[in-house]
């Protein structure tokens, strides 16, 4: 498979990273200098208050808005599943739980420890170490966890556990055991734990040792700063978008990485030389006049991310609607070939599964997602669609939980939400429609203003009215409703001046009351 990574960093205000398979956009990340992510950053914070009804605490980490710490994210130092602790040189216990392939581990990280009683675990004024798991959204502060992790290229250091784990993306039991044995041979410190990432598969011992030494040094530095400084204070800032993406997404299957900024390329090669020097030759400077993303046909694919409707290869389509509570995805049939309506519906649904998974990754949609598939009558076909959706979810770095399809053809899933979606970074709420996507028609607004004028004239608090409005609305009233306006002026004995203002949206108006002197 022809797999490429593109890094568009020519404009320092906005950095974008794209991953292409055979020219098709599979992953897309964007970060603005004015809105850099906090996810992965570690702080020493102070507990401000505990809200038992929410089973949560609010922690001051020095950002202005207090961070939200749920009870399920509270961990005692060196919390671990029941069993003896590991000492230096000792192999990990056999019941090691699988980890994930990202620095932030998914919801299963809590499966093996009970939610603590906040009355016993925390107290107001207490200083604790936390890591940001979700960026601030709107008026809400960031979400944090005491379950800290320090990611390297091949390993993730987990200070709160003394256990070894292997990424859940490595399913082969023999390979998992081999990696755990190799990790033991590296003689890691006994007071922390480690997770072997997918990228660690097949790596030489010296590469893993270099990575282990690096994350241990980093954690020691964080610990020393935490001991020396008072809360709230920042202890660790995760790498920038380019380094994070290469650290987490680069695999031997990536044939080329094109970067259009010499300074970013220099910094990237410095990182690559330290953690995977044999791949240094795959990182190339893009110097052509045509913008990088246009050259590889990425810009048009990015624009598709912002569209509600996405066409499927077989002629069907999906429509994605995001709301505050959930995201709804509707699957529509088209020209998909099939001997029977049932077969046609199944083929369209299976096509939709692949595209839905891709769109969720590209748009970074999290939370509850409800998919309305085309109705299939046979239970085996419903199970086939479920299996297809689960296979697609395996490509996703975010933790995803998928439920069974209902009799109505609805499939519910929950996807881990870490950062605001791509749309939030690229768009602002429309001032005209206030985010609804709808504005009043010229006729409706004209009639509404006439009623307002009637109300003001009836109140009798002015000798005349002046109303500034959208020119089209003013034209409607003066042309279509002129008779009604004249009747109002005659009835109340007061004048009404209508002024069309260029630049006023349809729903915008300004009403001035001219009052009698004295």
∠12-17-19 over CA atoms, to 5°? 165
Higher pLDDT, 409 or 90: 409
| Domain's final residue, options 204, 236, 268 | 236
Look at strands 24-32 and 56-60 and give their pairing.
unpaired
- The H-assigned helical ranges of 250-321 are 262-275, 292-295, 298-305
Q: How are strands ordered across the β-sheet holding 367-372?
A: 309-311, 317-322, 327-332, 367-372, 410-415, 400-402
**Does any domain span residue 98?**
no
**Does any domain span residue 377?**
yes
| Band (106; pLDDT cuts 50, 70, 90) | very low
| Band (509; pLDDT cuts 50, 70, 90) | very high
Which phi and psi angles does 47 have, rounded to 5°?
A: -65, 120
- Could you tell me which residues come within 8 angstroms of residue 443 by beta carbon, excluding any fewer than 6 positions away? 476
Mean pLDDT for the chain overall: 86
**Does any domain span residue 476?**
yes
**Does any domain span residue 102?**
no
Rounded Cα distance between 281 and 272, Å, is 10
Q: What is the pTM of this model?
A: 0.76
Which tokens in the block code for residue 444? Answer: 């409706």
**Does any domain span residue 282?**
yes
Residue 136: what pLDDT? 87
Whether residue 335 sits in one domain with residue 317: yes
Whether residue 170 sits in one domain with residue 48: yes
Residue 120: what pLDDT? 84
**Does any domain span residue 12?**
yes
Q: What is the CATH number of the domain that holds 499?
A: 3.40.1260.20
Q: pLDDT tens digit string along 235-278? A: 999 888 899 999 888 988 999 999 999 999 999 999 999 888 88
Residue 397: what pLDDT? 82
Q: pLDDT tens digit string along 388-412? A: 999 999 888 888 999 999 888 899 9
Question: Contact, 194 vs 155, CB < 8 A?
Answer: yes
**Does any domain span residue 99?**
no
Rounded Cα distance between 474 and 428, Å, is 28
Q: pLDDT tens digit string along 305-361? A: 888 999 998 889 999 998 888 999 999 987 656 678 888 999 999 999 999 999 999
Residue 37: what pLDDT? 85
Which phi and psi angles does 285 have, rounded to 5°?
A: -85, 125
Number of domains in the chain: 4
Rounded Cα distance between 15 and 259, Å, is 11
Domain with 171, as residue range(s), is 41-75+116-236
**Does any domain span residue 95?**
no
Question: Contact, 442 vs 472, CB < 8 A?
Answer: yes
∠439-443-447 over CA atoms, to 5°? 105
Whether residue 229 sits in one domain with residue 141: yes
Q: pLDDT tens digit string along 155-196? A: 999 998 878 889 888 888 888 888 888 888 888 888 899 999
Q: pLDDT tens digit string along 419-478? A: 666 777 777 778 778 777 788 999 999 999 999 999 999 988 778 999 999 999 999 999
Whether residue 187 sits in one domain with residue 47: yes
């Amino acid at each position: 498979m022809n797999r490429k990574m593109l890094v568009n960093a020519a404009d320092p205000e906005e950095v974008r990273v794209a991953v292409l398979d055979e020219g098709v956009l599979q992953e897309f990340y964007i970060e603005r200098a004015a809105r850099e992510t906090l996810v992965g950053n570690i702080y020493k914070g102070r507990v401000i208050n505990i809200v038992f009804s929410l089973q949560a605490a609010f922690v001051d980490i020095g950002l202005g808005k207090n961070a939200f710490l749920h009870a399920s994210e509270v961990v005692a130092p060196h919390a671990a599943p029941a069993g003896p602790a590991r000492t230096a040189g000792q192999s990990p216990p056999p019941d090691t739980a699988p980890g994930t392939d990202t620095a932030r581990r998914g919801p299963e990280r809590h499966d093996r420890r009970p939610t603590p009683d906040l009355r016993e675990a925390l107290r107001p004024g207490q200083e604790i170490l936390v890591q940001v798991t979700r960026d601030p959204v709107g008026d809400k502060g960031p979400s944090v966890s005491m379950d800290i992790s320090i990611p390297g290229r091949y390993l993730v250091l987990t200070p709160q556990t003394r256990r070894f784990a292997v990424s859940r993306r490595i399913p082969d039991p023999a390979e998992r055991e081999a990696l755990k044995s190799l990790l033991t041979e590296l003689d890691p410190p006994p007071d922390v734990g480690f997770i072997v990432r997918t990228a660690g598969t097949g790596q030489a011992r010296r590469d893993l040792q270099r990575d282990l030494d690096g994350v241990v040094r980093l954690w020691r530095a964080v610990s020393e700063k935490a001991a020396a400084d008072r809360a709230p204070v920042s202890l660790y800032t995760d790498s920038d978008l380019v380094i994070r993406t290469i650290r987490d997404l680069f695999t031997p299957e990536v044939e080329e990485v094109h970067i259009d900024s010499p300074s970013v390329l220099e910094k990237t090669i410095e990182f690559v030389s330290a953690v995977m020097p044999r791949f240094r030759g795959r990182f190339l400077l893009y110097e052509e006049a045509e913008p990088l993303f246009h050259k590889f046909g990425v810009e048009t694919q990015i624009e598709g991310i912002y569209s509600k409707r996405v066409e499927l290869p077989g002629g069907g389509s999906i429509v994605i609607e995001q709301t505050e509570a959930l995201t709804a995805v509707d699957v529509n049939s088209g020209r998909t070939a099939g001997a029977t309506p049932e077969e046609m519906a199944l083929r369209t649904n299976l096509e939709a599964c692949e595209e839905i998974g891709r769109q969720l990754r590209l748009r970074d949609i999290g939370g509850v997602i409800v998919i309305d598939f085309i109705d299939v009558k046979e239970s085996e076909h419903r199970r086939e669609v479920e299996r297809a959706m689960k296979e697609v979810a395996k490509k996703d770095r975010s933790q995803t939980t998928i439920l069974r399809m209902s009799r109505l053809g609805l499939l519910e899933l929950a996807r881990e939400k870490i950062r605001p979606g791509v749309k939030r970074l690229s768009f602002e709420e429309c001032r005209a429609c206030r985010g609804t996507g709808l504005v009043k028609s010229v006729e409706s607004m004209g009639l509404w203003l006439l009623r307002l004028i009637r109300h003001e004239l009836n109140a009798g608090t002015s000798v005349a009215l002046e109303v500034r409005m959208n020119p089209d609305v003013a034209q409607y009233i003066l042309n279509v409703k002129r008779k009604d306006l004249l009747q109002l002026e005659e009835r109340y004995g007061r004048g009404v001046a209508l002024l069309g203002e260029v630049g006023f949206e349809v729903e915008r108006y300004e009403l001035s009351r001219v009052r009698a002197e004295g």
